[in-house]
Structure formats: structure tokens, C-alpha cells
Amino acid sequence: MEIIISNSSDKPIYEQICMQVKNLIMNGTLSAGEALPSMRVLAKDLHISVITVQRAYEDLTRDGFIETVSGKGSFVAAQNKEFIREEQLRVAEELLQKAAEIGRAHGISYEQMTDILKLFYEE
């Protein structure tokens, strides 16, 4: 498992950890049932405080990506990746619809809009 933390990023470290673990699960690098490093080990390896990692793991648990068994550690939850992707697609659709409405109402061209989206995707 690879996690890369940026100290100069605007995103808090717990959010960076959370996003990267989600990404590793969604792209199949981490599979269901696989054990994650313990919070304390991860804190030590990243040179950050335990509470920061704890917060990331709590968010991952809340979002259904991992399960924590007390005394045993945290594991990738058995979830339906397709289902999560569908659900997130619906969220994205809603936001894009809003963007399209703003664009249409204010004379922003379709090309300009797709350029922006492309830019964000490549970021």
C-alpha cells in the first residue's frame, strides 16, 4: 500500500489519507478483507499524530470502505464497487447539471465548460 502525503497541500492530512485509501479500494489495489496497517503503525510511518490517522479511519468506516474489528485491526469492507461507483456518478451528474444550468444562463460555451472539466480531471 502506498500513501503519499503533502504537507503543503490545502487538504488536511486526514483527508488526504482518506481519499487515497478510497482510491486504492476503488481501483482494486486493496481488495475486500485485506488488512490495513494499524493506526499507530501508519502514524509512525508517516511521522504524524495518531489522532490524525484515527480521524481518517473513522471517515473511511463511516463511508463504508473499511471495517474495524476491535483488537484485530481495520479491514477493507466487502462492498459493491459498482454500487459505489453508480452512487457517486449520480452525485456527479447532479453537480454537472447545475454547472450546465449556470453555463446556459450566462452564455458560457459548451467547449469552455468541457475544457474546465478536463483541466480538473488532469489535476
Partner 1 sequence: MEQNNILVRDLCKKFDSFSLDHVSFQVPKGRIVGFIGENGAGKSTTMNLILDELKKDSGQIQIFGRENTISSVRENIGVVFDECSFHDVFNTDDIERILSGVYQCWDSSLYRQYLNRFNIPGKKPIGSFSKGMKMKLSIICAMAHKPKLLLLDEATTGLDPVVRDEMLDLFLEFIQDEECSIFFSSHITSDIQKIADYVILIHQGRIVFEEQKDDLIYNWGVVRCGKERFADIVPEDYIIHRTTSLSVECLVRDREMIKRKYKNVVVDKASLEDIMLFYVRGGAA
62 binds partner 1, rule: CB under 8 A? no
CB nearer partner 1, residue 48 or residue 77: 48
Concatenate the DSSP letters of all residues of 21-62 into one string: HHHHHHTTSS-TTPBPPPHHHHHHHHT--HHHHHHHHHHHHH
Site for partner 1 in 14-33 (CB under 8 A): 14
Q: Which stretch binds partner 1 (CB under 8 A): 45-53, 83-91, 97-105, 106-114?
A: 45-53
Per DSSP, the three-state class of 76 is: strand
Q: For the stretch 87-120, what's the b/e string if a residue is b when 16 or more beta carbons lie within 10 angstroms of its beta carbon?
A: eeeeeeeeeeeeeeeeeeeeeeeeeebeeeeeee
Among 4, 28, 47, 90, binds partner 1 (CB under 8 A): 47
Shortest Å distance, C-beta 113 to partner 1: 26
**# residues contacting partner 1 (CB under 8 A):** 13
Shortest Å distance, C-beta 44 to partner 1: 4
